[in-house]
Amino acid sequence: MLIAPFQAIVCSDTCSPETREQIVAALADFVKTKSDRIGSGWKTLFGTFRAVRTSEVDDASVHWTVLDVIGAYLRIDKYSVLSWSLPDCLPCIIHFLQSSHTKTAEQQEEESDANSKPVEDQLSEAALRLVTPTYTVILNLFKTPHIANPNLLHRYAIQLTFLPNGDLPWEDRPPSEVASLELLLSFVEHLAGTLVTAPNCIQSPLLVSIQQLINTIKTSEFGRICPYSISENVHQLLKNCLAQ
């Protein structure tokens, strides 16, 4: 309820860049100091941040503020907060990895003549650096008992209905571990799917990042449970990417 009015203002066509930046800065401070009071507002908060990414602003500082907020959020050590809010954070990170605007031929020519890297590419590269801390959060959720997010458990239950025979490898795991595994699968799937829409400058680093992430997963607690599911998801998405 508290964040919804701010989202409406930020998403408004009449919202000035200065107002948008002030609102995002206020929300950033709220995340850093009162994360346990946001409750159901995380979905709205991250929705606001996604809207900022797609907005046309002359000053890119507001985008950097959003990435700073996400980085601060990933350093929260309250697992009850992370369990419920991380499913809404993941699409926000992926949103920043993607190209938000289509460049005209004139803009592309100007950028090729410039010595500095375009801000759009810098933002995508900064978002890519959030991959490792995001995985660390998911791994810590897996290793730490907590109240599982029922939406993630429901997603798991839906997956079971599509299995012709047998159960998933984590059938007998505690609910908190099952929810964390669902988060991990969703994260890897989102990353692989972004290869189609990511700027050219990060497509190769993104592939490397996915490879490193899978190698890390194989040697972690996750490696004994879900390597096949992850490999199958990534393989299918890479085939789709190559087809396009």
Please give the model's pTM, rounded to 2 decimal places: 0.82
pLDDT recorded at residue 51: 80
Q: What is the mean pLDDT of the chain?
A: 79
Q: How far apart are CA 200 and CA 100, in angstroms?
A: 13
What does the pLDDT read at residue 127?
A: 93
pLDDT, tens digit (0-9, with 9 covering 90-100), for 178-188:
899 889 888 98
Tens digit of each residue's pLDDT (9 = 90 or more) over 82-115: 988 999 999 999 988 886 655 544 545 555 445 5
Lowest mean pLDDT among 10-19, 22-31, 147-156, 211-220: 10-19
pLDDT digits (tens, 9 = 90+) for 117-146: 788 889 899 999 999 999 999 999 999 999
Looking at residue 87, its pLDDT comes to 93
Gap between the Cα atoms of 79 and 83, Å rounded: 6
Whether 177 and 142 have beta carbons less than 8 Å apart is answered as: yes
Find, among 195, 156, 198, 186, the residue nearest to 89 by Cα.
186
pLDDT digits (tens, 9 = 90+) for 196-231: 788 888 888 988 888 888 888 888 877 766 655 565
The CA distance from 119 to 224, in Å, is 40
Provide the pLDDT for residue 198.
83
* pLDDT > 60? residue 58: no
Counting residues of the chain whose pLDDT is more than 90, the rounded percentage is 19
Q: Quick check: 109 and 190 in contact, CB under 8 A?
A: no
pLDDT band at residue 157 under the 50/70/90 scheme = confident
In 3D, which of 218, 237, 236 has the Cα closest to residue 94? 237
Six token digits for residue 168 = 């998933």
> What are the helix (H) ranges across the chain?
4-10, 17-33, 42-54, 61-73, 79-97, 105-113, 119-128, 131-143, 150-161, 175-193, 200-218, 227-243
Contacts 24+ apart (CB under 8 A), 207-214: 209/128, 209/131, 210/234, 213/131, 213/132, 213/135, 213/188, 214/188
